[in-house]
């Protein structure tokens, strides 16, 4: 980097050249792209360097062909724009959040919360908190599955080929999913009567661990398959005793099983260890997100 003063820096020629030919490491490319959002001078230099590469020359030929084929009235619409700073931070965050905050997933989260409240207070169902705690850990898992991958984003192939794609984008969307789920479902649990169920916040570590496990497993199988495995495993574990319970005992059995899975330092410590191990595996499998399976 070159610096004009203590607070302003510009990309050096070597950095610009390595970015243009694709040899710049990913973290350095991210840093440079962030800088280009607010520095027109460096954006012009990088744009000029990219145009000098073989792909840049090919794109220039395509542009010239499009301009030659376009009617005169359309030419102003396809003229090359002057370099401008990047989009506002809010717009970038909304793009990164993508499917995590649109479509059917967000209404589904609200439906889970409102349904639990309706059962607990409108229907007089004393096991509403236990039922919510059984479902809550798989809600962010479903959000992860629906927010990243070829099935979720029509521009996935384009985005995955950029430094902003891959695991970085998957983690951004997962963070948005968790930021919506965790406070909403925990607050709902706090408002519901306990009736022998674990504390309302007891599902937070399991929810985080299952989300990280889903991301790690997705590097092998794809997001949807990974979500089916982790969510299915959790539901089988907590709901297994319920079908065998005699009439009227299903709620109590569910609360007892949830207490085994969630309550106490041992259970929470196990979930914390699972989260750490999943994060370590995810870090080791980071390159796999450049070619995520289509399942």
Q: pLDDT by residue (tens digit) across 4-62?
A: 443 467 888 888 888 888 788 877 777 787 788 778 888 888 888 877 777 667 767 77
Distances (CA, A) of 128 to 119, 158, 178: 6, 44, 22
Q: Do 49 and 146 fall within a single domain?
A: no
Q: Is 195 helix (H, G, I), strand (E, B) or coil?
A: coil
User: How confident is the model over 251-287, as pLDDT tens digits?
Assistant: 888 999 999 999 999 999 999 999 999 999 999 988 8
Q: Of 30, 53, 78, which residue constitutes the final position of a domain?
A: 78
* Mean pLDDT value of segment 142-168: 69
Q: Do 134 and 252 fall within a single domain?
A: yes
Q: What is the pLDDT of residue 234?
A: 96
Sorting pLDDT into bands at 50, 70 and 90, what band is 67?
low
DSSP 144-166: HHHHSSTTT-TTHHHHHTSTTST
Q: Among 107-116, 125-134, 146-155, 199-208, whose mean pLDDT is lowest?
A: 146-155
- Token pair 């982790």 is found at 230
Q: Do 21 and 151 fall within a single domain?
A: no
Q: Of 37, 54, 78, which residue constitutes the final position of a domain?
A: 78
- Backbone φ and ψ of 186, nearest 5°: -70, -45
Nearest to 160 by CA among 219, 213, 102, 106: 219
Q: Do 133 and 55 fall within a single domain?
A: no
Percent of the chain with pLDDT over 90: 32
Q: Is 83 a domain residue?
A: no
Any residues with CB less than 8 A from the CB of 197 and at least 6 apart, and which?
Answer: 127, 129, 130, 133, 255, 258, 259
Q: Do 74 and 94 fall within a single domain?
A: no
Count of domains forming the chain: 2
Instruction: Give the Cα separation of 251 and 127 in Å (integer).
Output: 6
Q: Is 84 a domain residue?
A: no
Q: Do 119 and 260 fall within a single domain?
A: yes
Nearest to 196 by CA among 101, 116, 129: 129
Long-range pairs, 208-212, Cβ under 8 A, ≥24: 208/178, 208/271, 208/275, 209/271, 209/272, 209/274, 209/275, 209/278, 210/137, 210/138, 210/140, 210/141, 210/234, 211/140, 211/141, 211/144, 211/174, 211/177, 211/178, 212/275, 212/278, 212/279, 212/282
Q: What is the pLDDT of residue 148?
A: 73
pLDDT at 150 over 70: no
pLDDT at 230 over 90: yes
Q: Do 45 and 148 fall within a single domain?
A: no
Q: What is residue 5's DSSP assignment? A: S
Q: What is the pLDDT of residue 95?
A: 52
Q: Is 15 a domain residue?
A: yes
Q: Are 222 and 289 in contact (CB under 8 A)?
A: no
Q: Do 61 and 119 fall within a single domain?
A: no
Which residue range(s) make up the domain with 175? 89-291
pLDDT at 109 over 80: yes
pLDDT at 80 over 50: no
Q: What is the pLDDT of residue 161?
A: 60
Q: What is the pLDDT of residue 34?
A: 78
Q: Are 172 and 97 in contact (CB under 8 A)?
A: yes
Q: Do 196 and 157 fall within a single domain?
A: yes
Q: Do 126 and 256 fall within a single domain?
A: yes
Q: Is 156 a domain residue?
A: yes
Any residues with CB less than 8 A from the CB of 202 and at least 6 apart, and which?
Answer: 133, 258, 262, 263, 268
Instruction: Give the Cα separation of 240 and 254 in Å (integer).
Output: 9
Q: Is 278 a domain residue?
A: yes
Any residues with CB less than 8 A from the CB of 226 and at least 6 apart, and which?
Answer: 145, 213, 214, 215, 216, 217, 218, 220
Q: Do 20 and 132 fall within a single domain?
A: no
Q: Is 213 a domain residue?
A: yes
Q: Is 242 a domain residue?
A: yes
Rg (CA), the chain: 25
Q: What is the pLDDT of residue 5?
A: 44
Q: Of 78, 103, 133, which residue constitutes the final position of a domain?
A: 78
Q: Are 198 and 256 in contact (CB under 8 A)?
A: no
Q: What is the pLDDT of residue 159?
A: 59
Q: Is 200 a domain residue?
A: yes
Instruction: Give the Cα separation of 27 and 14 in Å (integer).
Output: 16
Q: Are 114 and 108 in contact (CB under 8 A)?
A: no
Higher pLDDT, 192 or 157: 192
Q: What is the pLDDT of residue 185?
A: 94
User: How confident is the model over 169-190, as pLDDT tens digits?
Assistant: 788 888 888 888 999 999 999 9
Sorting pLDDT into bands at 50, 70 and 90, what band is 147?
confident
Q: What is the pLDDT of residue 295?
A: 55
Distance of CA 231 to the CA centre of its chain: 17
Q: What is the pLDDT of residue 204?
A: 95
* Mean pLDDT value of segment 287-294: 69
Q: Do 106 and 66 fall within a single domain?
A: no
Over the chain, what is the mean pLDDT? 79
Percent of the chain with pLDDT over 70: 74
- Which helix (H) or strand (E) segment holds residue 3: the answer is strand 2-3
């Amino acid at each position: 980097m070159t610096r004009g003063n203590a607070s302003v820096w510009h990309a050096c020629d070597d950095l610009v050249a390595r970015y243009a030919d694709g040899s710049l490491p990913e973290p350095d490319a991210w840093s440079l792209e962030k800088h280009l959002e607010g520095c027109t001078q460096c954006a012009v230099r990088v744009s000029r360097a990219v145009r000098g590469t073989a792909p840049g020359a090919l794109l220039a030929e395509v542009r010239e062909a499009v301009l030659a084929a376009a009617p005169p009235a359309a030419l102003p619409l396809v003229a090359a724009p002057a370099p401008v700073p990047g989009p506002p931070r809010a717009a970038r965050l909304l793009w990164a959040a993508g499917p995590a905050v649109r479509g059917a997933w967000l209404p589904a989260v609200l439906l889970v919360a409102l349904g639990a409240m309706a059962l607990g207070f409108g229907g007089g169902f004393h096991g509403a908190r236990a039922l919510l705690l059984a479902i809550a850990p798989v809600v962010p898992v479903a959000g992860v599955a629906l927010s990243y991958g070829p099935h979720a984003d029509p521009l996935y192939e384009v985005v995955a080929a950029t430094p902003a794609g891959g695991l970085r984008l998957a983690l951004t969307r997962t963070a948005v999913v968790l930021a919506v789920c965790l406070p909403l479902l925990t607050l709902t649990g706090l408002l519901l009567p306990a009736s022998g169920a674990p504390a309302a916040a007891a599902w937070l570590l399991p929810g985080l661990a299952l989300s990280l496990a889903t991301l790690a497993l997705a590097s092998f199988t794809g997001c949807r398959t990974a979500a089916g495995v982790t969510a299915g495993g959790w539901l089988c574990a907590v709901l297994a005793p319920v079908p065998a319970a005699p009439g009227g005992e299903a709620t109590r059995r569910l609360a007892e099983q949830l207490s085994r899975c969630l309550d106490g330092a041992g259970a929470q410590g196990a979930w914390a260890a699972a989260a750490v191990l999943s994060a370590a595996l995810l870090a080791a499998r980071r390159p796999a997100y450049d070619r995520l399976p289509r399942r």
